[in-house]
Structure 1
């Protein structure tokens, strides 16, 4: 119908308005049919047609509808801006009397001397020191207000309701994960994947769908022990499995939400104990932004979930109000970002560090902008010798000026060495030739590619510099006094 617009009579009144006729195409060669229909309905809605969205949005009993602004091009910055005044008002130890006192200090010695009944000369020596102390306190308080941490809090989901629809669970060939989940998801269908590459996963999904779109997809492909090859492939294998599945869902035209089950060890009061599993969470948060049509969320479970855990998992999938959760002992905990000020720390003493700076410091990625800045920071605190490494090493652009700047700042010796920290043999040779007593691991690869455009080799290259580099540096310096 798109070309039908051209069959209308030419505009006769000069307004450019074709009257009440609106032509919206529902046929698109390069795209899925259901998305083309939704776009067509949206176009009609924008043009003023009365659309009944109930079949798409549901009856409102479980879905959340958000009103969009009715004005265009207005943008709001939601990044928190913390001021010293806000910090002071939130600190019960800071009273109006304190503020009044410091206001008199800032005005100079005359008013304060009159208030105290002492000569101005008695205050001239101490006021500059007091003013500087106050400036440091205010600055520290403001920066302290920028500190946030991730925590977990119990989530009370509404009363459980049956999880209907057709759900696909992808699993490896060696085990049956989440045994018993079928009791809580009657429409659960298990798909065994022998080769989790993009082409094979796409074919498996297309075969399983067979014209009937699933309600959701649950992935256990990256669970440890289920065809796990992390010992061979490294800390990037789990991320690759999840990334490949996200890509395959797009290739197969599946818009059902993907939920990924992990065993990273997240939870209240504890840090994850499996870095490879935890890496999936980093990838998942990006996938949620790039592909909200394919992404559902992340669920971290224990190694042996009981019936209570499985029931809670089904409840999370049914309500979809949380997308990053831990399920443990039948309870659900949601991920939260909260302010984490250094409560009780003295603003001045908190800036002091009694630990001596390393005499000889290794900085990986040391010829890059961030690496050089880190090296300068350590030199200013007493580090005398630096070993800067990068893949380009002595061939890094602008290196001569960098070395001169570090020596001018106080470094007695600066060695620059070519080393790829993703290569264990190169790291071993580096540490053998350059014994250090401190390491700053700054090396990394900037990655700005879209998920659909990358492959396993790309992931390994990006993960190699940071994650593999950390593994090699840790293992090869065991027992060192760093």
Structure 2
């Protein structure tokens, strides 16, 4: 109508059209405006919608499939706020319109502004939801008795063994026992200065392969200097050994076993805290280089090591899937992660007359904890930081002080004993008794074993090991209500690229158990990654979600802290996981029994109008002579899809999956696709046990398609070998001109 009345206007665009959806018409008109040169804010248009970039064909003869895949069933994991869809007593009261109950739950302050009312209701709702969500986030390690199933007395492999460290009597006894089992053995009394030279020397002395290295560290130390010295020396030496093995060009894999005595808090004997970092380090080695890893063995600390030699020999020569073993009272224990529900006997409240120390106090986590302590009644806070105040942190500290709290910011390095002695004098001068310590200082880095240097190792361990030990020593005479260490999941199940971080946090875990054995307060919280600050960037958060590890919202984490401060456990893990995905990723390179007791909910099967035929049905419709070719084609297509290759690009069956560019996430996806294709649950280690299409095909035929293929006989193999030999001989006897002609014929047949 407008176009008919005003004919001079160049372009009329409708917003509505009969028979066309409103949104579709609006987009069409918007597109025409853009073509006419009008600037469109496309980012603003797409802000509320999920989009996916699709590559379009550039040439008509590529013959590639360009259907846009449906987003339904996508398994991308996103971190959700715990209160996004959950209900709480607040929402229930709002639904009922019960303003009297809501009013009763608010602050006792006489008059509240509308904004303050809303803020309090939001806080109460988030706290209630977080407490409910905690049930799925708390775990602890349970040590269970599991005898070693020794199928045969014969060792899994004969060869040379190298024993490093330990007391001379222990190493001699172990060497004698190994030699009685027909194993060649050599031991080194002192920790070597050059492991590469030692490995070369061992390999030159005998033709037997070096099959195992036993790294002994069973000495117990308790003095301040000895604990720090042994921690540094033994870890650095083990790192040098592992790096030398990684640089060694020997084709035979050598397994490293770390043996301790009392490094695990199990039984009545106090933990040997100086040995604990080796366990954190070992958990990461197992993830990064399973081909080099034997395991961790912790012997009974109250008995001499020589009397436990039988257990040690049995573990070394007959290993099973468990690579963390503890012996106590002649029983063999292995760790299993289990859900935790600690009992609480009190409600935590801070003392207004006491003072509270937070290391890393100006960091993101430290400031969140400071705010929470104020909410719990604390009025005197000491925030410790190496860097001191910045513009950003100054505003946060000022906000704490506005409420009438005294906040002291002290610049000090928690790992320097002289700095901490100065801090302690200042605390004592304030005449406000120190009632609690929260040790949240830390340095987060990602460095593989190959990349680690002594300087980087020391930088990451200092705040955890030296810092934690300094705080313990200085506070031992204080009447503390709590001593909380912010540890990490890295020391529970390991974290690739964080051997140093796992070692440092394992020390804190052990330190809290050590304090508990002395009757002192101690709590280690093995945190999963926190959202909204801390050490996790937005990119890292997205990657973690893809591995099945979700970030903890600050509300959920603080709720966990409040709950655990009133609980009766020394060590608790707080982590949000998509266990179905995380377990598959975790056990990608070798079995991981640690998570065997974590149940995984069955995956939801989406309803489809047409069920795609499974692999057996697809093979049944073709002749037996064509099945092998069809199976290989199907496997090539599955691998191509996982690698995001063009559908017409068929991967070479003999090339390794990881040589093609497959990463750990892709490996899990391939395992899931193959499980769905076969209708069975395949092992998480599928791509490592069967590293290319050719081996995967043979495994499927032998194990899951029995009867579909004619068994290969010795005659078939001989005929194949005969044909291959004749073909090679024919090629060797042909001239270059004849070979070029044959290649041309092959290429022409392919093109035709």
2:450 is aligned, of 432, 449, 452, to 452
Q: Which structure 2 residue ranges, 5 or more long, are not aligned? A: 1-60, 64-73, 84-90, 106-120, 481-752
Per-residue CA shift, 1:204-229, capped at 9, x if unaligned? 01211236432222211x33279x99
After TM superposition, the structure 1 = structure 2 runs for residues 362-401 of structure 1, keeping only pairs within 5 Å, are 362-394=357-389, 396=390, 398-401=392-395
Residue 313 (structure 2) aligns with: 314
After TM superposition, the structure 1 = structure 2 runs for residues 168-247 of structure 1, keeping only pairs within 5 Å, are 168-172=161-165, 175-177=168-170, 179-181=172-174, 182-183=176-177, 185-192=181-188, 194-197=190-193, 200-210=194-204, 212-220=208-216, 222-224=217-219, 230=226, 233=229, 235-247=231-243
CA contact (8 A) 2:82 2:129 kept: no
Shift of the alpha carbon at 1:406? Answer: 1.9
2:407 is aligned, of 410, 414, 425, to 414
Report the CA distance shift for 1:264/1:82 in structure 2 as closer, same or farther (over 3 A): farther
Secondary structure of the structure 2 residue equivalent to 1:362: strand
Q: Which structure 1 residue ranges, 5 or more long, are not aligned? A: 1-13, 17-73, 84-102, 110-122
Residue 477 (structure 2) aligns with: 479
Residue 424 (structure 2) aligns with: 431
Residue 337 (structure 2) aligns with: 337
Per-residue CA shift, 1:166-195, capped at 9, x if unaligned? 242322385232554333543041231534
Shift of the alpha carbon at 1:138? Answer: 6.7
**Partners in 1 of 2:380 and 2:297 — Cα distance?**
46
CA contact (8 A) 1:263 1:301 kept: yes
CA contact (8 A) 1:265 1:302 kept: no
CA contact (8 A) 1:325 1:333 kept: yes
Secondary structure of the structure 2 residue equivalent to 1:196: coil
CA contact (8 A) 1:238 1:276 kept: no
**Partners in 2 of 1:128 and 1:277 — Cα distance?**
55
Per-residue CA shift, 1:269-303, capped at 9, x if unaligned? 56861112111111111111112121121000124
Which deviates further from its counterpart, 455-464 or 376-385? 455-464
After TM superposition, the structure 1 = structure 2 runs for residues 21-420 of structure 1, keeping only pairs within 5 Å, are 108=96, 139-161=130-152, 162-163=154-155, 164-172=157-165, 175-177=168-170, 179-181=172-174, 182-183=176-177, 185-192=181-188, 194-197=190-193, 200-210=194-204, 212-220=208-216, 222-224=217-219, 230=226, 233=229, 235-253=231-249, 255-266=253-264, 268=266, 273-303=271-301, 304=303, 309-317=308-316, 318-342=318-342, 352-354=347-349, 356=351, 359-394=354-389, 396=390, 398-408=392-402, 410-420=403-413
Length-normalised TM-score, structure 2:
0.44
**Partners in 2 of 1:307 and 1:431 — Cα distance?**
44
Shift of the alpha carbon at 1:141? Answer: 4.0
Shift of the alpha carbon at 1:327? Answer: 2.2
CA contact (8 A) 1:145 1:341 kept: no
Per-residue CA shift, 1:34-54, capped at 9, x if unaligned? xxxxxxxxxxxxxxxxxxxxx
**Partners in 2 of 1:191 and 1:178 — Cα distance?**
7
Report the CA distance shift for 1:311/1:275 in structure 2 as closer, same or farther (over 3 A): same
CA contact (8 A) 2:352 2:379 kept: no
Secondary structure of the structure 2 residue equivalent to 1:398: helix
Shift of the alpha carbon at 1:402? Answer: 2.2
Larger Rg: 2
Secondary structure of the structure 1 residue equivalent to 2:466: helix
Residues 1:466 and 2:464 aligned together = yes
Report the CA distance shift for 1:473/1:307 in structure 2 as closer, same or farther (over 3 A): closer
**Partners in 1 of 2:342 and 2:300 — Cα distance?**
32
Shift of the alpha carbon at 1:381? Answer: 1.6
CA contact (8 A) 1:383 1:411 kept: no
Report the CA distance shift for 1:320/1:253 in structure 2 as closer, same or farther (over 3 A): farther
Per-residue CA shift, 1:110-132, capped at 9, x if unaligned? xxxxxxxxxxxxx98569989x9
CA contact (8 A) 2:258 2:296 kept: yes
**Partners in 1 of 2:220 and 2:186 — Cα distance?**
17
**Partners in 2 of 1:165 and 1:75 — Cα distance?**
46
CA contact (8 A) 2:162 2:187 kept: yes
Shift of the alpha carbon at 1:420? Answer: 1.0
Q: Which one has a larger percent helix, Structure 1 or Structure 2? A: 2
CA contact (8 A) 2:383 2:407 kept: yes
Secondary structure of the structure 2 residue equivalent to 1:415: strand
Secondary structure of the structure 1 residue equivalent to 2:332: strand
**Partners in 2 of 1:127 and 1:402 — Cα distance?**
30
**Partners in 1 of 2:462 and 2:278 — Cα distance?**
15
CA contact (8 A) 2:367 2:396 kept: yes
Length-normalised TM-score, structure 1:
0.66
Shift of the alpha carbon at 1:144? Answer: 2.5
Residue 55 (structure 1) aligns with: none
Report the CA distance shift for 1:381/1:225 in structure 2 as closer, same or farther (over 3 A): closer
**Partners in 1 of 2:448 and 2:311 — Cα distance?**
33
Residue 489 (structure 2) aligns with: none
CA contact (8 A) 1:419 1:427 kept: yes
**Partners in 1 of 2:355 and 2:397 — Cα distance?**
15
Secondary structure of the structure 1 residue equivalent to 2:450: helix
